Homo-oligomer: A and B are copies of this chain.
Amino acid sequence: MRKGLVVQKFGGSSVANVERIQNVARRVVSYRNKGYDLVVVVSALGDTTDELIELADKINTGASEREMDMLLSTGEQISVALLAMAIHKLGREAISFTGAQVGIITDTSHTRARIIKINTDKIKEELAKGKIVIVAGFQGVTLNQDITTLGRGGSDLTAVALAKELKADECEIYTDVEGVYTTDPRIEPRARKIKEVTYDEMLEMASLGAQVMQARSIEVAKKFDVPIHVRSSFSDKTGTMIIKEVKRMEDVVVSGVTLNKNEAKITVCDVPDRPGAAAKIFKELSGSGINVDMIVQNVSHTRKTDISFTVPKAQFQKAIKITRKAARNISAGEVIEDQDIGRVSIVGVGMKTHSGVAAKMFEVLALNKINIEMISTSDISISCIIKKKFTEDAVRALHEKFGLGKK
């Protein structure tokens, strides 16, 4: 009896070695034996992608993005073939495909391609034969047959996009944690696994540092209302459901606390307060591929103002160079760097309708004698930049104050 179609995605740590591949195969087969049609998306084995990047860097640090995609896409191709073999060994029929073979058509933006369309004929054909269909994550192909990749975490996107196109009943994202937590359990042992979370909350958490799922894939899931189940490939426990709307008790205001220590802060002092001055700085930065994240500028009472922003640490050296040059060009003052920061955020759809959440957050930090350097808010999140050494204390204090810990 056909029970429905499930798309399952296994990340690199779930297939890091032979034993884990066999473990995934057992899990997939036991699911298949329950009567579900299965499409399985796999990432590259363990650190394969990083190793291939390292190899390429030894040959050409400015490698062409087309050739980089040609190189990196082999990682997932290896995984799908090995998983198919492992499933065959357990006596079940399975067939593996590259992104190109199943017709995951993308644009030509190599290393960060966007999916244009998916031709699902081949998958449906093999599912109809009773086979488990295994698809290489993270990759696609242009209309001109060039291999592309979808950017870091792109296998999540492959899974969600396939779930949408195939009208799957559920999209399971298997990872090395048991679901989405109220905060990082390595920082706060009392962190609780969240049963249900909305797309918006998850998006906010992902962009604020939670590394459970790629943000773009959550956007797609939200857009097409694809239910996602984040769970562990090492246990049978139910994980976290990411869905459109969560029915919660009225008093749940904050769903989680996130921490991001991978950013650095740049402050440009004495920016002339005339239209376009700030724009020039950020135009230079984005033109060079720098991802500027948080930006803070106060209303100025003089003719000059200070602007602070954060960038990923990996891009910091490049960003500071560009900023200094741009600051000179607009006759701004000193440029101050600070790599010793962290961003602590609280996330929750509940805060939309509750006032005083920000005040409560600032109060908690003040009580712990933590100075706030920057503040940024969205509809469902509040972020504070503080000194790095205080970040973990801040996470624990906020987690406690907003009642997120285990009962």
Tell me the minimal C-beta distance from A17 to chain B in angstroms: 9
Contact segment of A71-79, A208-216, A232-240, A376-384: A71-79
Q: Is A52 in the interface zone, CB < 8 Å from B?
A: yes
**Within the assembled complex, what's the spacing in Å between the Cα atoms of A245 and B302?**
92
Give the size range of A's interface with the partner.
35 or more
A60 with B77: CB separation less than 8 A:
no
How many copies of the chain does the oligomer comprise? 2
**Within the assembled complex, what's the spacing in Å between the Cα atoms of A120 and B84?**
32
B70 with A86: CB separation less than 8 A:
no
Say which residue of B22, B67, B82, B89 sits within 8 Å of A71 (CB atoms): B82
A85 with B101: CB separation less than 8 A:
no
B residues less than 8 Å from A70 (CB atoms): 77, 80-81, 84, 96, 98
Which chain A residues numbered 24 to 66 have a C-beta less than 8 Å away from chain B? 52, 55-56, 58-60, 63-64, 66
Tell me the minimal C-beta distance from A231 to chain B in angstroms: 24
Say which residue of B60, B66, B145, B147 sits within 8 Å of A86 (CB atoms): B60
Q: Is A21 in the interface zone, CB < 8 Å from B?
A: yes
A71 with B78: CB separation less than 8 A:
yes
Say which residue of B22, B59, B77, B88 sits within 8 Å of A74 (CB atoms): B77
Tell me the minimal C-beta distance from A129 to chain B in angstroms: 14
**Within the assembled complex, what's the spacing in Å between the Cα atoms of A64 and B84?**
9
A59 with B78: CB separation less than 8 A:
no
B residues less than 8 Å from A100 (CB atoms): 100
Given A78-B71, A81-B71, A84-B67, check contact A59 B21 (CB 8 Å). yes
**Within the assembled complex, what's the spacing in Å between the Cα atoms of A81 and B68?**
7
**Within the assembled complex, what's the spacing in Å between the Cα atoms of A71 and B136?**
12
Given A70-B96, A74-B74, A96-B70, check contact A60 B88 (CB 8 Å). yes
Q: Is A18 in the interface zone, CB < 8 Å from B?
A: yes
Tell me the minimal C-beta distance from A68 to chain B in angstroms: 7
B86 with A59: CB separation less than 8 A:
yes
